[in-house]
Amino acid sequence: MNAANAGIRVNHLQKTFQQGRVRACRDVNLAIAPGELLVLLGPSGCGKTTTLRCIAGLERPDNDDAIWVGEQNITGMQPKDRNLAFVFQDTALFPHLNARKNISFGLNMRKTFPAAEIRRKVEATAKMLRVDHLLERKPSQLSGGQAQRISLGRAIVMEPAAFLLDEPLASLDAALRVEMRAEIKQIQRKLNTTMIFVTHDQEEALSLGDQIAVMNEGVVLQVGSPASIYLKPANLFVARFIGSPPVNQFECELVQDGGGYGLRCAWFEVSLGAEAATLIDAVGGKVTLGVRPEFISIGSEGGDIEGRVTLVEMLGSRSVILIEAQGREIRVSTQGGTTVKEGDPVQLTLTMDRAFFFAPDGRALVG
Amino acid sequence: MKRSQATSADRWLIVVFLAPTTAFMVLLLWYPFLQGVWMSLFRWPFLGTPEWRGVQNYVDFMAADYFWVALKSTFIYSLSTLFQLGLALTAALVLNQPFIRLQNLWRGVMLMAYAMPPVVVGAIWLFLLDPGLGMVTHYLLAWGIIAEPIYWFSDGVWARWVITLVATWTFWPFMFLILLSALQAIPGSLYELGEIYGANLWQRFIHITLPHIKGAILVVVILRLAFNLAKIEQPFQLTGGGPGYETSILSVLVYRFAFMSGDFGMAFTVGIFLVVFTSVLIFPFAYLYQRQFKPTL
Amino acid sequence: MALRDDRSTPTQRFVTYAALTLLLSQVMIPFGYVFVTAFKTPGEVFEVTWLPEEWSLEAWRDVFVVNEFHINLYNSLIAGIGSAVLALLISVPGAYVFARKRFPGREILFYLIVGTLIFPFILLIVPITITWIQVGLYNTIVGLWLAFQIFAVPYSIWILRGYFARLPRSLEECAMVYGCTQFQAFYKVILPQAKPVIISVMFLSFLLGWNDFLFSNMLTTGDGPRTASVAIYVASAGGERIEWEVMMVMTLITGIPPVILYILAQKHLSKTFSV
């Protein structure tokens, strides 16, 4: 199964721990195309790392046909025979070996190449990662970022069928994290090798992934491009998990006023198109309305909601404004700076054609 | 479905790796132990034919006039653990002070007695305490503290305390080493926090130091209680268990019966009493440790 | 770590230094006197003096020429080395499995072994002696090596297991992803990490053999592998006149090597013990 650049399929993966008492993966299904970069995203404990470890062979799934690479079922195979490279969050560099020997560890074990060839490959990889000057150092002499590069090098040099990365950037500081994630994406593009990247950081997921799979409580809730995950969340959980500041939610009820439709939400009412009204009516008329902070505009009069500014956060390229209305907090985000000040009375207008409607069971209503 | 995580390769490794340990445990610990229990039901001479006695060895031992004498000396001897703890804690606190220089040198000096064979240390004290030419007797006489030489090893009252104190002098560095490393593991920021909130030296000791080394203290007390009652080369060497049975702590008695009288059945009978005695002594500390730290695998 | 000022008070310093002085002198004075005695002539041993009239090497010569103490030292050395090697062979694989693998009965097995740490192992000398006579291990060096394991193995497993358990699990996992079998992961990755603890265990079980008296005395006779400890005991129980200056030389020769070893191993020991 050494077909480089293989697709990976996860088929109804189930994985329980402690004699079935803990269900890490209930029913995970994924299909990653050859050369694709898939990000597995979810809160801690959602089963994303367990899924990745099952793919690597570090955990044994409960069902025997869970993991496929290309057309081959590898569920029962030893990790070393899978030709998959794994990058650990804590780098897992071997402390007794220098960087060079860490990178060449897998090739040395495999014994397919002569020493000179291994040496060449290690140096080429190190150069690509800009750590060729660090090869003689022991892991204890490397910074966090350098260590993670070496650990990446150890994976890259194997020319595996796919890379599996388990939160590799989680223990780095913010600036380095941003730099490294761009680099990882470039390398993945250059090598054109399938990659699965696990993270709990939604910003990292959006910036990296060709596809993002959002997981919660042992199941995949949605798979899609970053844009579709962000703009068309399949359910309330995905909508809330993705996006910073988070989506605004209101509990609403469908009402009919004169010829048109509207949503009555606690203390305010917004009008609604007929198409949306039909969808909402079909689930009984009660929905959760979700509006992302950037789809609410601030004015001084004529809006849907009246409120008062409680806090303005200037974040550089945009501003986040917290508004208090009827005891509720509403988050609004604007491009660039803003003229409103804390204490100002404001009127908010919702952009209803970018709003989400969720049925009582959390499912998104789409036409 | 596979519930356990072990793959077949895993299972092989476990079996192969456990084999030597299990063989050791069965052949060198539990089989001899059970064999000993069996032997304790016999009059079992060193070289000769065993003769069935049932529980007579046990009955005889408990009825013997030296039974309570032995228990009493065993108890006094086990007080050594307490003295060791005092010395060790003091030394560990002293060496943990940041302003002490040459820490490593002093630590090396302090553990000298512990590193050496106990028989070596025993021989040294045999010499130093010699009533005729020993340094201790000499100075005590010279300074007028005693009027005539004391026969440390053959005077029953003194002999008991001598073996207890020599054991203390020999074995306290074991506790010292472990307590010092426990002290060094306490983050300095805790003491700074204590200072900022107005804790004085004593309060910092009670509220910061002690809670952090409590586990280590319990462990060393448990281990030392057990070790002290089993490592008996010094009492054996200094007094041979005498005069009479005054310093025959239970384990010396085991050795005396086995090595000197060649009565192996009786020796193991005494050994059983030693197990019970040790367990009773250790129990409260083990209970405290278990309750507080729940050692997990 | 940030640098810190020393803010100790003069009283604190005085008390600490006073305690240090007391602690050191209770160790140094006896050993100092032993050292001096080793260089006295037989006649001068009877006087309590700190500076011999003449520094004599007579006792040192007697130890080897008359007492042939080097034979006992050699026996102690072999006893110690064998004890260390055997302890490693038995306890390293076992401790690794206890620390890193799950299997039914793990807890019980572990406590059955380590529980014997607080078991007064001295009483096992009774059945062991009888068995050793029956199987021909009595009065042999192999018999001693095996007997030392009664104490060395539980102790070693206890120390090793704690250390193995603290190593990150990702090390083996990583090794296995990059081409190792379970066994290769153990010896290529875990064993090199365990160097300090392996040195500690080797050192402690060597000393166990070197320092032991009870087993060595019980399981050997004068014509067998009699170790230095036993020779010192025999000399000290010598009856008529004990040659104290010779005894003190023996104690120095036997006692100093473990101290040096302790100092050398300290770096590794401190990495091992964190109760």
pLDDT in tens, C220-268: 988 888 999 999 998 887 666 788 888 999 999 999 999 999 888 887 8
Stretch 202-241 of chain B: residues touching chain C, C-beta under 8 Å: 215-216, 219-220, 222-223, 225-226, 229-233, 236-237, 240
pLDDT digits (tens, 9 = 90+) for C105-153: 898 999 888 888 888 888 888 899 889 999 999 999 999 999 999 989 9
The confidence band for A125, taking pLDDT boundaries of 50, 70 and 90, is: very high
Closest chain B C-alpha to A62 CA, distance in angstroms? 6
Flag if A62 and B5 touch (Cβ within 8 Å). no
Closest Cβ opposite residue A92 in set C174, C179, C180? C174
Closest chain C C-alpha to A196 CA, distance in angstroms? 15
Flag if C123 and B28 touch (Cβ within 8 Å). no
Flag if A59 and B5 touch (Cβ within 8 Å). yes
Q: Which domains does chain B have, with CATH numbers?
A: 63-293 (1.10.3720.10)
| Average pLDDT score over chain A | 92
Question: Is C177 an interface residue toward A (CB < 8 Å)?
Answer: yes
Contact A206, A242 (CB under 8 A): yes
Give the whole-number percent of chain A exceeding pLDDT 90. 75
**pLDDT for the residue numbered A61:** 93
Closest chain A C-alpha to C272 CA, distance in angstroms? 17
Closest residue of chain B to C10, computed from CA coordinates: B99
Closest Cβ opposite residue A62 in set B2, B7, B9? B2
pLDDT at C56 over 90: no
**pLDDT for the residue numbered B149:** 86
**pLDDT for the residue numbered C175:** 94
pLDDT digits (tens, 9 = 90+) for B79-119: 999 999 999 999 999 999 888 888 889 998 999 999 999 99
Flag if B3 and A20 touch (Cβ within 8 Å). yes
pLDDT digits (tens, 9 = 90+) for A34-69: 999 999 999 999 999 999 999 999 999 999 999 999
pLDDT at B1 over 70: no
Closest chain C C-alpha to A140 CA, distance in angstroms? 13
Taking Cα atoms as reference points, which of B123, B164, B135 lies closest to residue B252?
B164
Q: Residue A217: how many CA atoms within 13 Å on its side-chain side?
A: 2
Give the per-residue SS3 of chain C: CCCCCCCCCHHHHHHHHHHHHHHHHHHHHHHHHHHHHCCCCCCHHHCCCCCCCCCCCHHHHHHHHCCCHHHHHHHHHHHHHHHHHHHHHHHHHHHHHHHHCCCCCHHHHHHHHHHHHHCCHHHHHHHHHHHHHHHCCCCCHHHHHHHHHHHHHHHHHHHHHHHHHHCCCHHHHHHHHCCCCHHHHHHHHHHHHCHHHHHHHHHHHHHHHHHCCHHHHHHCCCCCCCCHHHHHHHHHCCCCCCCHHHHHHHHHHHHHHHHHHHHHHHHHHHHHCCC
Q: If phi over 0 gives left and psi between -120 and 50 gives alpha, with beta otherwise, what is residue B16?
A: alpha
pLDDT at B280 over 90: yes
Give the whole-number percent of chain A exceeding pLDDT 70. 98
Average pLDDT over every residue of A163-189:
93
**pLDDT for the residue numbered B49:** 85
Closest Cβ opposite residue B39 in set C94, C126, C235? C126
Closest chain A C-alpha to B7 CA, distance in angstroms? 8
Question: Is B87 an interface residue toward C (CB < 8 Å)?
Answer: yes
Closest chain C C-alpha to A264 CA, distance in angstroms? 54
Chains in touch with B (≥3 Cβ pairs < 8 A):
A, C
Flag if A88 and C179 touch (Cβ within 8 Å). no
**pLDDT for the residue numbered C275:** 43
Question: Is B26 an interface residue toward C (CB < 8 Å)?
Answer: no
Contact B100, B160 (CB under 8 A): no
Q: Collect all residues with Cβ–Cβ distance below 8 Å to B176 and sequence separation of at least 6.
A: B87, B88, B91, B92, B110, B111
**pLDDT for the residue numbered B5:** 47
Average pLDDT over every residue of B5-17:
78
Closest Cβ opposite residue A62 in set B1, B7, B9? B1
Average pLDDT over every residue of A82-107:
94
Average pLDDT over every residue of C38-55:
85
pLDDT digits (tens, 9 = 90+) for A199-221: 999 999 999 999 999 999 999 99
| Strand-strand pairing, A345-350 and A296-299 | antiparallel
**pLDDT for the residue numbered B295:** 58
Q: Which domains does chain A have, with CATH numbers?
A: 8-241 (3.40.50.300), 248-358 (2.40.50.140)
pLDDT digits (tens, 9 = 90+) for A300-313: 888 889 999 999 99
Q: Which domains does chain C have, with CATH numbers?
A: 10-60 (no CATH), 68-272 (1.10.3720.10)
Average pLDDT over every residue of B149-161:
87
Flag if A109 and C178 touch (Cβ within 8 Å). yes
Closest residue of chain B to A22, computed from CA coordinates: B3
Stretch 188-217 of chain C: residues touching chain A, C-beta under 8 Å: 189, 192-193, 195
Closest chain A C-alpha to B11 CA, distance in angstroms? 14
pLDDT digits (tens, 9 = 90+) for B13-54: 899 999 999 999 899 999 999 999 999 998 888 777 888 888
Instruction: Annotate B203-259 with DSSP letters as a single string.
Output: HHIIIIIHHHHHHHHHHHHHHHHHHHHH--HHHHHHTTT-STTTT--HHHHHHIIII
Chain B hits for C258, Cβ within 8 Å: 115-117
Flag if C27 and B87 touch (Cβ within 8 Å). no
pLDDT at A2 over 50: no
**Residue B290, SS3 per DSSP:** helix
Chain B hits for A19, Cβ within 8 Å: 3
Q: Which of A60, A64, A74, A78 to mutate to test the interface with B (most CBs of B within 10 A)?
A: A60
Question: Is C187 an interface residue toward B (CB < 8 Å)?
Answer: no
Q: In Å, how far from its chain's centre is CA A99?
A: 30
Flag if C178 and A58 touch (Cβ within 8 Å). no
Residue keyed to tokens 């080395």 = C81
Chains in touch with A (≥3 Cβ pairs < 8 A):
B, C
The confidence band for A322, taking pLDDT boundaries of 50, 70 and 90, is: very high
Question: Is B252 an interface residue toward C (CB < 8 Å)?
Answer: no
Closest Cβ opposite residue A95 in set C178, C184, C193? C193
Flag if B99 and C13 touch (Cβ within 8 Å). yes
Q: Collect all residues with Cβ–Cβ distance below 8 Å to B266 and sequence separation of at least 6.
A: B40, B43, B57, B60, B61, B257
Closest residue of chain B to C181, computed from CA coordinates: B9
**pLDDT for the residue numbered C202:** 93
| Average pLDDT score over chain C | 89
pLDDT digits (tens, 9 = 90+) for B52-69: 888 888 998 898 888 999
The confidence band for A1, taking pLDDT boundaries of 50, 70 and 90, is: very low
Sheet with A84-87, side-by-side order of all strands:
A72-73, A67-69, A8-17, A22-32, A219-224, A211-216, A37-41, A194-199, A162-166, A84-87
**pLDDT for the residue numbered A3:** 45
Closest residue of chain B to C47, computed from CA coordinates: B133
pLDDT digits (tens, 9 = 90+) for A255-280: 887 778 888 888 888 888 888 888 99
Average pLDDT over every residue of B192-203:
86
**Residue A303, SS3 per DSSP:** coil
Q: Which of B125, B127, B184 to mutate to test the interface with C (most CBs of C within 10 A)?
A: B127
